[in-house]
Amino acid sequence: MKAFLPNESLIPWLKDLSSSLEVIAPVDVEGEAVYQTWKGQPPALVGNTLSSPIEVLMPRTEVLFRYVQDSGRYTFDEPKVPTRIVVGMKPCDLKAVAILDRIFGSEPTDHPYLAKRRSTLLVSLNCTDPGPWCFCAIMDSGPDAQEGFDLALTDIGSGYLAEAGSAAGVLLIKGCSSGLFLEADGSHEASRDILLENARSVMAEKYGDRSVGHLRRAIRSADWEYLGRQCLRCGGCSFICPVCHCFSIADLGVPDGERVRCRDTCLLSGFSRMTNGANPLGSIGERMRNWYLDKFEHLPERTGLIGCVGCGRCDEICLAQIDRWRLEVLDERSRQQRQQHK
């Protein structure tokens, strides 16, 4: 089912949704678009966000359960999961959800993730204006969402072309106050096709030389010791990646407290260190190599999907200016050239 949402109907529609669901949408926070619970402000739906909305499903920190002691025995209480709708999720992040579904959905399944996944509706926003680091078209995860969305929007200037991808998506159109959505016609779809084709060609021009095959060869031949020396070991690329899903678990509180899990990254030195001091990934070079191998070799083996969606966030955030696809460090001149090119 397709429909057209005029620009002036966007906020009324979000208000309509927020009367029955928690609406998560990107909003402007000190100049940065951040996914938050929407409270009536204008949504920042332009461009990609630095932090991924994947945090709705995989929060930085979350309580797995609370434990309460009584006479030496414990009772456990798992947190309730609210029903939510994420509006504005870009196709790259949607593809990341598909990858995480396979990771956390494979046996033995991860109940905390799946509980949130089941109670979250996804409204994606196709990418008509890719950012300077975006290359989703090369990774086959954009600029338009192919699957996994309940409703897909495309900004065609005068409003949004809305396409339902599930029964819930149909209800998002049909179930809201009358008059918000109008009938879509052929001109809306033609505008969408032109805009998406333009986005594809922009990315092809900038990043057409990137290929997974080349990167796999680069992983085998890269000087990991050199790259390790350049890496600042901040873990930023990992914490910001919508596919990275490493986590740690810890208890907070005695005798009553919470068992929490928080995002972690295999790039940090203590990640694989055992109690006896042995560390199978002892050097940063080994850890960087493991990071790449996991995304481009091991995850595809396990899930059938490559662990990169082309969002470009790791390129954007890398303080060491490592060209993540050539696996070399950019000097200042080539960095500036690249920026100008963009």
Partner 1 sequence: MSDHDSNGSNISKRNNSYSGCSKYSGQSSQGSYLPLQAEIVDIDVESPNTYLISLALPSGVDFSYKPGQFVMVSVFGLGECPISITSTPTRGSLQLCIRLAGRITNGITDSRIGDVLGIRGPCGNGFPLDRMKKDILIAGGGSGFATLRSLINYIVDRRDSFGKVAVAYGARTRQDLYFMQEYKGWQQAGIDVSVTVDIGDEGWKGNVGMVPALIDKFNLPAGSAAICGPSVMINAVASKLMARDFDHSDIYVSMERHMKCGVGKCEHCCIGPYHACQDGPVFTYDMVKEVL
Residue 110 CB contacts under 8 Å (≥ 6 apart), including other chains:
104
38 to 77: interface string for partner 1, x by CB under 8 A: --------------------------xx-x-x--xxx-x-
> Considering the rule CB under 8 A, would residue 111 count as an interface residue with partner 1?
yes
Q: How far is the CB of 206 from partner 1 (least distance, A)?
A: 31
Tell me the Ramachandran region of residue 253: left when phi exceeds 0, alpha when psi lies from -120 to 50, beta otherwise. left
* Residues 150, 119: Cα–Cα separation, whole Å: 12
Q: How far is the CB of 30 from partner 1 (least distance, A)?
A: 32
Q: How far is the CB of 288 from partner 1 (least distance, A)?
A: 14
CA proximity to 314, closest of 341, 342, 336, 295: 295
For partner 1, which is the closer residue by CB, 60 or 298?
298
Q: Which of 11, 170, 212, 266 binds partner 1 (CB under 8 A)?
A: 266
Q: How far is the CB of 110 from partner 1 (least distance, A)?
A: 5
What does the DSSP 8-state code read for residue 43? B
Q: Which of 255, 282, 331, 337 binds partner 1 (CB under 8 A)?
A: 255
Q: Which of 298, 331, 335, 337 binds partner 1 (CB under 8 A)?
A: 298
- Chain residues 71-100 in contact with partner 1, contact rule CB under 8 A: 72-74, 76, 78, 81, 83, 98
* Residues 284, 226: Cα–Cα separation, whole Å: 10
Nearest-5° angle of CA 179, CA 184, CA 186?
A: 160
CA distances from 254 to 64, 75, 166, 249 (A): 16, 14, 45, 16
> Considering the rule CB under 8 A, would residue 220 count as an interface residue with partner 1?
no
* Residues 138, 134: Cα–Cα separation, whole Å: 9
**CA dihedral sign, ordered 96, 237, 28, 342:** negative
> Considering the rule CB under 8 A, would residue 247 count as an interface residue with partner 1?
yes
Does residue 242 contact residue 92 with C-beta atoms inside 8 Å? yes
Q: Which of 257, 316, 323, 326 binds partner 1 (CB under 8 A)?
A: 257
DSSP H or E segment with residue 26? strand 22-29
Q: How far is the CB of 106 from partner 1 (least distance, A)?
A: 5
> Considering the rule CB under 8 A, would residue 115 count as an interface residue with partner 1?
yes
> Considering the rule CB under 8 A, would residue 166 count as an interface residue with partner 1?
yes
Q: Residue 176 has which token pair? A: 């809201």
Interacting residues toward partner 1 by CB under 8 A: 21, 64-65, 67, 69, 72-74, 76, 78, 81, 83, 98, 101-112, 114-115, 117-122, 147-148, 150, 165-166, 168, 245-251, 253-255, 257, 259, 261, 264, 266, 271-276, 278, 280, 290, 293-294, 297-298, 301-302, 304
